[in-house]
Amino acid sequence: MAMPNDAVLEEAAPSGIVAAGPLLAPSPARGRPDRRSPGRERLAKRATARTFRRVTGLLLVAALIATGGATVPDPAGSGWASPGLVGGGGWPFAGAPLSPEEAAGASYLPDSSVVRLGDGRVRLIPSGGDTPITVDASDPRVAQAVRSDSAWLAQGTVPGGGVDPATGKPRGYRDMSARALLDLRLLTRPNGASLASWYTKWRYSWPRDSAFAAAAFTVTGHPAEARRVLRFLARAQHGDGMWAARYNPDGTAVADGRAPQLDSVGWVLWATWFYRVQTGPLDDELPELWPMVRRAADHLAHSLDAEGLPPASSDYWERDHRREEDPRRPTLGVVGPVLAGLRSAAGLARARGEDGKAVEWERAAGRVSDAVARQFAPYGYPRSPIRDGLMDTSVTFLAPPFAPADPAVTAAIGDAQRKQALPNGGVLPGEHWSGTPNVAWTPETAMFGLTDAASGRTAAAVGRLDWLSEHRTPLGVLPEKVGPSGGQAGPAPLGWTASLVLLSVSALEKPLPVPPTR
């Protein structure tokens, strides 16, 4: 998704905008005296200055839009302020935002995406439709929609986090999990495109987010939805094994000039392995996934340099790699997913009997692992492999459930958590974050919670999940960001956060698998 790039400006103007000409004052013809009067010359200079400011402003806005995501500041009362989506339980599980005004006093009917408004009436989307209607609570379509949503939840499991041994009572995350699952379903289109959120700049499918959605559907016993997401990724993959940075809901790549993001290749491989471990052989239902895995893993293996590192690329920050502290080498946000992806691909190859490919990808993973030990470990696993490099959440990509536990990595995760912590209880995307300094990002907070839960640090995980639960919208939906006063500061729901919460709560109940390191 359009992750932490709200302070990012690309240095180049977007294509199709000509910056030459009007930005410079016209110069007199060579060899010909300038015959303008002083007054007319001053007017010309003023006009040129106005033109410069106007064009510069247009270039700035265009660059912000072209570089995507949450880069363009939203005015007060922005459309993303909806606290949640209205659904109806019927295929194709359409969702529509509820305005903040309508949400006053409203709540979801239990285990559904049907909303009871403050005046007692009910808002829902009828089966087969995409437009909300408001009906009396006795309307039979209300009960039908609730039954449909509840039945879908019952097909799998809704993780609650298990029992707190100190009190003997359930930890109480079931409501948050049910809402996250229902929201993920509303964000996943019939073709498998899993959208980051519903609002304009988020209404795209990022392969990275989609991978986590597939894993969340898998771990909660909803394999049909996971298969749909993975099939979408298989269809969208390029012949060279890569994916575009993001896709429109119809599956076409977004042509906005941003380069492919190498970390997404690793995440898709990890999610495919995760699905296979939980459900069984790929060839039984998803024969198209092995060609996808082979193309993706071959791309990663062949991309490694002499040091064993993949090329520099933007990662989940969606920032031009040339603006990193070490622009020559990849960030941990790229290296961690590449390592997890190669290990996952090797595990898939072993399970399929493709021993040659398994050995090839295991060797590639070993080279990346050795490079991490040489390049990142001596400095405490910072985002960029330099002395005193800044920390960010990507250090969790080297820990469970993506890699085996390691004491040095665990210490680095604690260091990152301290350096990214905010007074409101959440975390920034990274140390010395250049964006809004007092707004917490829920995906990063949830990622720390996931690695804590998957590593057996239950108390820390519960603390993160409690914070996320307490900072949902009034409808109980997980937002993208939380402001300094604890209120919603980004669109809701956010698919990536929903997926991470579901994985975290599940990890409290049973261990999550970790890609093999052989």
Strand 115-116 relative to strand 107-108: parallel, antiparallel, unpaired?
Answer: antiparallel
Distance CA 274, CA 268 (A): 10
Per-residue confidence (pLDDT) for residue 3, from 0 to 100: 60
Distance CA 208, CA 315 (A): 9
Backbone dihedral region for residue 388 (phi beyond 0: left; psi -120 to 50: alpha; all else: beta): left
Can you tell me which residue has the tokens 């290749």? Answer: 265
- Continuous segment of H or E residues that includes residue 169: strand 169-170
Distance CA 136, CA 117 (A): 10
Full-model pTM = 0.86
Per-residue confidence (pLDDT) for residue 286, from 0 to 100: 74
Per-residue confidence (pLDDT) for residue 13, from 0 to 100: 28
Per-residue confidence (pLDDT) for residue 280, from 0 to 100: 80
Residues paired with residue 169 on neighbouring β-strands, in sequence order: 164
Pick from 138, 134, 140: nearest CA to 117: 134
Cis upstream peptide for 493 (omega within 30°):
yes
Distance CA 66, CA 72 (A): 10
Phi and psi at residue 440, to the nearest 5°: -85, 145
Residues 6+ apart with CB under 8 A from 183: 84, 85, 95, 113, 477, 478, 493, 495, 498
HSE on the CB side for 244, CA within 13 Å? 16
Residue 254 near residue 288, CB atoms below 8 Å: no
Pick from 174, 446, 430: nearest CA to 319: 430
Per-residue confidence (pLDDT) for residue 518, from 0 to 100: 80
Q: Under DSSP, is residue 108 helix (H, G, I), strand (E, B) or coil?
A: strand
Residue 374's CB is within 10 A of a number of other CB atoms, namely 13
Strand 169-170 relative to strand 163-164: parallel, antiparallel, unpaired?
Answer: antiparallel
Per-residue confidence (pLDDT) for residue 283, from 0 to 100: 65
Per-residue confidence (pLDDT) for residue 40, from 0 to 100: 39
Residue 240 near residue 234, CB atoms below 8 Å: no
Distance CA 329, CA 312 (A): 5
518 residues of the chain, pLDDT tens digit each = 656 444 332 323 222 322 222 222 333 332 333 333 334 344 344 444 444 444 344 333 333 333 333 333 344 457 899 999 999 988 889 999 999 999 999 999 999 999 999 999 999 999 889 999 999 999 999 999 999 999 999 999 999 999 999 899 999 999 999 999 999 999 999 999 999 999 999 999 999 999 999 999 999 999 999 999 999 999 999 999 999 999 999 999 999 888 899 999 999 999 999 999 999 876 666 788 999 999 999 999 999 999 999 999 999 999 999 999 999 999 999 999 999 999 999 999 999 999 999 999 999 999 999 999 999 999 999 999 999 999 999 999 999 999 999 999 999 999 999 999 999 999 999 999 989 999 999 999 999 999 999 999 999 999 999 999 999 999 999 999 999 999 999 999 999 999 999 999 999 999 999 999 98
Residues paired with residue 133 on neighbouring β-strands, in sequence order: 124
